[in-house]
């Protein structure tokens, strides 16, 4: 193959793009396990995309951001050099056979791309270079999802004879037999004369049989150790196979020890099922269950001292801190602890098609029991992670993930695995139709409970009221939906200044810059509203916002895009047009001029203009549209076009821009000969296709095919320069840097209640989330209002610190001041039914995220309720922490438990500096009140004392 590649003839950029596109479509049509893909550095691949005129997306943004620092970058439109993958590979130590591996921190699309084997062969034939980084497609999870295994399993092979170490790489889908063959090749030893041991945490776990069981099902983890025990003449195990007394250890799997404290509380093996039940449940994965049970069998023999229960850490298995953080919060949720420490076998639902056959609930319950029985010994959640990867392939591998996403999956999965409803009835919901809210809410909740009934629903699910109002017919729709957690936005008062030039799409006015202030963490719609106010936008008009880069439209802003994604060096422009005109075909005009007066040496210049075409049939219509939009720039010394020749035009958006090579080479030297004098336009115009891959000179009688988008290139001549003042289209202002306007005196702080208010405020639905109004029989952009109706015993607040857009991911480090005691939600609850319980909550766990998106770290704070003491769970490390230190800007998930009070007049709420929980007592008489007031402080502070309005304020005064 490599020999044949050397004879590949050079192709034009258009041909390369076409060939790659066709091969990609063919490869995607026959995806199957075992297909080879190749890893290519995004830095090189982006250059190639720009060369052939493809949309580069976020890869180009990354390169543009560093274009000033890296002098070797290929200029846009130039042919890239040889393929260069050296920036993404690592040379690691002890690699077998020179196998090249990638840096573990790399992310697909931003750091590398994956291309099918046939495309790699073409690219390598055209450009050479490398090195080649082949990766195999595998199937993961019970759904057999096809993914490319970019990071194979890395195992540290230890030789028991001399303790030598070597790193081997092998697919997690490979069998143990394949592992034996690979080790046999490396050590030059017959597979029959050695045994491989699972040596996780440098502790001999189980013997790995030479079988067809996969490494994944054997619970082998990235970067863990395996031990090779080589026989001499006859089998003589080394000292690694001896116990502390020198006795030979068993080299076959031993039966897991029985324990009265099994996963589900019954007298069975530690997997919690009777033998016949377990065999049917774990078909195809029995080895992993036995292996997991053997790994921790000795932990069940002993029970941790009462004072050390719940203080076990979780070992990090390779970027699993996100999982450990969420798990520690869940295993310290009191109702769940009580449930899983008891016998819950009867509630396991194997038949639920929405569940995981009960296996996720069993794995979670087993892990919870280990954590509550192992004292302070850290637990390795290998068996749980294996189940997680099987049912949720998105969490497989060893990349960092979101603890909130994992929490959502776990709660939903545990609910379905423990759902007491075996056959879910079909229920058709009814509209409220003006009925009382209490009646409708109870009806919706009964419908929900008829299909969903589990410990998760009992403890973690609440209900909120959703009100939709049609803006046209004022139809009101009220529904009551369940929730498992509340995702709260983080409102911000920090602003940034932005200067944006507004162009008139119909040529009615000159371009005008406007400077506005918007929230630094706002969205496109906030920018749109501020700019519309500044430029006095009429009710029948609209604005299209776009970024201009290198004199072309680089991208247009989505409605949900975060403004934090706008880079400091961007030029933002807006095109003003009427809403009616926006429905017509759109025309984008890009500008070039002749450099040194030579044809073929054209350069882009000026800001691209966007307008529209109404009833456009030929080139004369396009000419008139261009003349009209340039009208405000016409110098007074020249006559204008006949008004009868001008049609109405206005601006709009396009989805793609024209690449550098097209702008440079679109015309040839015979351009003047292609348009006769009879049909010559006033401007030199060329039409291009949607992708900008072909261009055609335009004459007056050129036929314009009906299309939503028409793209043209305008060549400016000396005559045009004399006729129009192009200075208005030059030197656009860049947006101001946030650092110039944001004060950095202290971190921004908001309250949890502000986040709740932002979550519950009324707002219109987005254009992509339209509501079908039953009154209008049309999709409408209705207004939506949420209210809390029924609160659960456990409520989880998800602080939305991460914002994602097409081009950027961002994290907000805003400090949220949340109550630890007496979180009062009564003012947010709209239900008048007091039987739901108290609306006051106590904080008991926090999932924290530190750092940025690329190299962040998760940990957890959890409270042992019995001790009334907080602890910091940082993977394997567990340390006490004071209550005053748990409020940080790293808080990501907040776990609260309902306070069960016997007195109805428990104080609600907590000031930022008050951490005391106290009660007001109404005395029966004045004498009793006097007696209470005369109580000494030492007595008044005791739990048994009835205190009337006594507490310490921020100054320490009683």
For residue range 31-70, list pLDDT tens digits in order.
888 899 999 999 999 889 888 877 654 433 343 333 333 3
**Other beta carbons less than 10 A from residue 37's beta carbon:** 22
Long-range contacts of 525-531 (CB under 8 A, 24+ apart): 525/559, 526/563, 527/498, 527/557, 527/563, 531/500, 531/502, 531/574
DSSP label at 66? T
Q: What is the pLDDT of residue 326?
A: 95
Closest CA relative to residue 56, chosen from 479, 656, 577: 656
Q: Where are the domains of the chain?
A: 9-55+78-150, 152-231, 495-634+680-729
Q: What is the pLDDT of residue 306?
A: 65
Rounded mean pLDDT, 648-677: 39
Rounded mean pLDDT, 811-838: 87
pLDDT at 9 over 60: no
How far from 278 is each of 290, 293, 350, 357, CA to CA, in Å? 11, 13, 11, 11
pLDDT-derived band at 428, boundaries 50, 70, 90: confident
**Other beta carbons less than 10 A from residue 358's beta carbon:** 23
Rounded mean pLDDT, 529-546: 83
pLDDT at 945 over 60: no
Q: Mean pLDDT score of the chain, rounded to an integer?
A: 75
Q: What is the pLDDT of residue 541?
A: 84
Q: Do domains 152-231 and 495-634+680-729 have the same CATH topology?
A: yes
**Other beta carbons less than 10 A from residue 254's beta carbon:** 12
pLDDT-derived band at 874, boundaries 50, 70, 90: very high
pLDDT at 274 over 60: no
CATH topology of domain 9-55+78-150: DUSP-like (3.30.2230)
Q: What is the pLDDT of residue 295?
A: 44
Q: What is the pLDDT of residue 555?
A: 76
Interatomic CA distance for residues 124 and 515, integer angstroms:
49
Rounded mean pLDDT, 913-932: 48
Torsions phi, psi for 341 (to 5 deg): -85, -5
Rounded mean pLDDT, 531-553: 81
Active site (catalytic) residues: 321, 857
For the four alpha carbons of 272, 275, 281 and 283, in that order, the dihedral sign comes to positive
CA diameter of the chain:
112
Do 465 and 419 form a contact (C-beta atoms < 8 A)? no
CATH topology of domain 152-231: Ubiquitin-like (UB roll) (3.10.20)
Rounded mean pLDDT, 81-97: 70
**Other beta carbons less than 10 A from residue 935's beta carbon:** 16
Q: What is the pLDDT of residue 300?
A: 43
Structure-model confidence comparison of residues 330 and 492, the more confident one: 330
Interatomic CA distance for residues 715 and 592, integer angstroms:
5
Interatomic CA distance for residues 533 and 935, integer angstroms:
63
pLDDT at 664 over 50: no
User: At how many degrees (to 10) do helices 403-417 and 321-331 cross?
Assistant: 50
pLDDT-derived band at 951, boundaries 50, 70, 90: very low
**Where would I find the H helices in 736-889?**
752-760
- Cis status, amide bond into 5, omega within 30 of 0: no
pTM: 0.61
Ranges 265-279, 427-441, 560-574, 904-918: which has the least confidence: 265-279
Interatomic CA distance for residues 414 and 393, integer angstroms:
17
Q: Is the domain defined by 495-634+680-729 classed in CATH 3.10.20.90?
A: yes
**Other beta carbons less than 10 A from residue 810's beta carbon:** 16
């Amino acid at each position: 193959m490599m020999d044949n590649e050397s004879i590949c003839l050079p192709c034009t950029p258009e041909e390369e793009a076409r060939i790659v596109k066709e091969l990609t479509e063919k490869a995607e049509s026959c995806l199957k396990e075992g297909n080879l893909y190749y890893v290519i550095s995004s830095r090189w691949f982006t250059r190639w995309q720009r060369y052939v005129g493809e949309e580069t997306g976020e890869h180009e943004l990354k390169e543009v951001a560093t274009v000033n620092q890296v002098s070797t970058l290929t200029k846009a439109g130039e042919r890239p050099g040889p393929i260069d993958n050296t920036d993404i590979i690592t040379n690691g130590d002890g690699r077998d056979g020179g196998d090249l591996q990638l840096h573990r921190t790399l992310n697909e699309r931003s750091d590398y791309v994956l291309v099918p084997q046939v495309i790699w062969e073409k690219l390598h034939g055209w450009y050479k270079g490398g090195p080649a980084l082949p990766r195999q497609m595998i199937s993961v999870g019970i759904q057999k999802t096809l993914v490319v295994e970019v990071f194979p399993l890395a195992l540290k092979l230890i030789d028991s004879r001399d303790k030598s170490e070597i790193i081997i790489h092998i697919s997690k889908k490979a069998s143990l037999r394949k592992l034996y063959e690979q080790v046999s090749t490396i050590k030059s030893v017959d597979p029959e004369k050695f045994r491989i041991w699972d040596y996780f945490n440098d502790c001999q776990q189980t013997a790995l049989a030479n079988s067809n069981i996969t490494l994944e099902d054997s619970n082998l983890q990235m970067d863990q150790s395996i031990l090779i025990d080589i026989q001499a003449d006859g089998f003589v195990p080394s000292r690694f196979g001896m116990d502390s007394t020198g006795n030979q250890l068993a080299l076959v799997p031993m039966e897991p020890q029985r324990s009265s404290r099994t996963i589900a509380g019954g007298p069975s093996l530690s997997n919690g099922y009777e033998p016949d039940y377990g065999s049917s449940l774990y078909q195809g994965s029995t080895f992993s269950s036995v292996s997991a049970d053997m790994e921790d069998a000795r932990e069940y023999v002993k029970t941790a001292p009462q004072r050390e229960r719940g203080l076990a850490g979780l070992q990090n298995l390779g970027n699993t801190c996100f999982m450990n953080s969420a798990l520690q919060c869940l295993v310290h949720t009191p109702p769940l602890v009580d449930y899983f420490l008891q016998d819950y076998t009867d509630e396991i639902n194997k038949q639920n098609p929405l569940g995981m056959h009960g296996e996720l609930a069993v794995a979670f319950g087993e892990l919870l029991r280990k954590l509550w029985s192992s004292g302070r010994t850290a637990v390795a959640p290998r068996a749980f992670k294996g189940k997680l990867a099987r049912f949720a392939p998105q969490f497989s591998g060893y990349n960092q993930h979101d603890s909130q996403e994992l929490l959502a999956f776990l709660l939903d999965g545990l609910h379905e695995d423990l759902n007491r409803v075996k056959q879910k009835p079909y229920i058709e919901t009814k509209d409220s139709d003006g009925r009382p809210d209490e009646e409708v809410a109870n009806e919706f909740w009964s419908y929900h409970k008829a299909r969903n009934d589990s410990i998760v629903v009992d403890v973690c699910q609440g209900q909120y009221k959703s009100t939709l109002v049609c803006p046209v017919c004022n139809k009101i729709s009220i529904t009551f939906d369940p929730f498992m957690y509340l995702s709260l936005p983080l409102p911000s008062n920090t602003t940034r200044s932005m200067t944006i030039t507004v162009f008139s799409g119909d040529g009615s006015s000159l371009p005008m810059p406007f400077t506005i202030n918007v929230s630094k963490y706002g969205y496109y719609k906030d920018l749109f509203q501020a700019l519309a106010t500044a430029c006095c936008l009429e009710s029948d008009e609209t604005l299209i916002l776009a970024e201009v880069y290198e004199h072309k439209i680089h991208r247009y802003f989505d409605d949900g895009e975060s403004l934090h994604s706008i880079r400091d060096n961007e030029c933002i422009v807006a095109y003003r047009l009427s809403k009616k005109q926006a429905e017509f075909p759109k025309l984008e005009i890009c500008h070039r001029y002749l450099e040194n007066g030579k044809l073929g040496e054209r350069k882009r210049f000026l800001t691209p203009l966007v307008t529209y075409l109404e009833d456009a049939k030929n080139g004369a219509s396009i000419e008139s549209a261009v003349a009209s939009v340039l009208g405000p720039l016409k110098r007074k010394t020249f006559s204008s076009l006949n008004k009868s020749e001008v049609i109405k035009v206005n601006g709009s958006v396009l989805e793609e821009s024209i690449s550098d090579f097209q702008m440079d080479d679109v015309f040839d030297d015979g351009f003047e000969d292609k348009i006769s004098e009879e049909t010559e336009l006033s401007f030199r115009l060329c039409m291009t296709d949607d992708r900008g891959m072909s261009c055609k000179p335009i004459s007056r009688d050129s036929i314009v095919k009906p299309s939503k988008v028409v793209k043209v290139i305008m060549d400016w001549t000396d005559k045009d320069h004399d006729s129009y003042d192009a200075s208005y289209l030059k030197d656009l202002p860049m947006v101001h840097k946030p650092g110039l306007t944001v004060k950095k005196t202290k971190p921004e702080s908001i309250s949890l209640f502000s986040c709740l208010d932002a979550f519950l405020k009324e707002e219109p639905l987005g254009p992509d989330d339209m509501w079908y109004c039953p009154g209008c029989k049309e999709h409408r952009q209705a207004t939506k209002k949420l209210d809390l109706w029924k609160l659960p015993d456990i409520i989880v607040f998800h602080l939305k610190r991460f914002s994602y857009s097409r081009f950027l991911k961002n994290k907000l480090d805003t400090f949220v001041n949340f109550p630890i005691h007496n979180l009062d939600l009564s003012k947010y609850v709209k239900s008048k039914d007091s039987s739901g319980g108290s609306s006051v909550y106590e904080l008991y766990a926090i999932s924290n995220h530190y750092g940025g998106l690329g190299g962040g770290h998760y940990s957890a704070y959890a409270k042992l309720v019995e001790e009334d003491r907080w602890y910091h769970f940082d993977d394997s490390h567990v340390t006490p922490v004071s209550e005053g230190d748990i409020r940080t800007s790293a808080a990501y998930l907040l776990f609260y438990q309902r306070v069960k009070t016997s007195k109805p007049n428990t104080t609600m709420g907590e000031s930022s500096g008050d951490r005391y929980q106290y009660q007001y007592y109404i005395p029966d008489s004045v004498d009793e009140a006097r007696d209470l007031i005369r109580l000494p402080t030492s007595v008044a502070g005791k739990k048994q004392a009835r205190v009337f309005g006594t507490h310490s304020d921020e100054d320490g005064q009683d």
